[in-house]
Amino acid sequence: MAMFTLGIEEEFQTIDPVTRDLRSHMSKIVDGGRITLKERVKAEMHQAVVEVGTNICHNIQEAREEVNYLRKMILGLADDQGLQVAAAGTHPFADWADQLITDDPRYNELIDEMRDVARGNLIFGLHVHVGLENRSEGIHIMNAVRYFLPHVYALSTNSPFWCGRNTGFKSYRSKVFDKFPRTGLPDFFSSIHEYDEYVNLLIKTKCIDNGKKIWWDIRLHPVFNTIEFRICDVPLRLEETICLAAIMQALIAKIHKLHKQNLNFRGYRRILINENKWRAARYGIHSKLIDFGKQEEVDYQILVYELLDFIDDVVDQLGSRKEIEYVHQILKMGTGADRQLAVYEETGDLKSVVDYIVKETRMGLY
Q: How far is CA 102 from CA 42, 47, 111, 208, in A?
A: 11, 5, 11, 21
Q: How far is CA 297 from CA 281, 285, 332, in A?
A: 16, 14, 22
Domain ranges of the chain: 6-362
Among candidate residues 141, 333, 123, 136, the one with its CA nearest the CA of residue 248: 141
What are the backbone angles phi and psi of residue 249, rounded to the nearest 5°? Answer: -60, -45
- 235 Cβ contact partners less than 8 Å away, ≥ 6 residues apart: 87, 126, 156, 158, 241, 244, 335, 336
The third-level CATH classification (topology) of the domain covering 6-362 is Creatine Kinase; Chain A, domain 2 (3.30.590)
What are the backbone angles phi and psi of residue 323, rounded to the nearest 5°? Answer: -65, -40
Beta bridge mates, 228? 129, 219
Residue-level pLDDT at 35: 66
- 181 Cβ contact partners less than 8 Å away, ≥ 6 residues apart: 207
Query: CB of 247 within 8 A of CB of 128?
Result: no
Alpha-carbon torsion 203, 207, 208, 212, what sign?
A: negative
Query: CB of 119 within 8 A of CB of 111?
Result: yes
Cα(111)–Cα(114) distance, integer angstroms:
5
The DSSP bridge pattern shows strands 6-15 and 165-166 to be unpaired
The pTM of this model reads: 0.96
Say how many C-beta atoms besides its own lie within 10 A of residue 117's C-beta. Answer: 15
Run means of pLDDT, 10 residues per run, the chain, 366 residues: 88 96 76 72 85 96 98 93 96 95 87 94 97 94 97 98 98 97 97 96 96 96 92 98 98 96 89 98 98 94 97 98 98 98 98 98 97
- Rg of the chain over Cα atoms, rounded to whole angstroms, equals 19
Alpha-carbon torsion 269, 247, 42, 82, what sign?
A: positive
Among candidate residues 184, 170, 156, the one with its CA nearest the CA of residue 304: 156
Cα(51)–Cα(221) distance, integer angstroms:
18
Fill in the amino acid letter for 341: L
Beta bridge mates, 125? 233
Say how many C-beta atoms besides its own lie within 10 A of residue 223's C-beta. Answer: 8
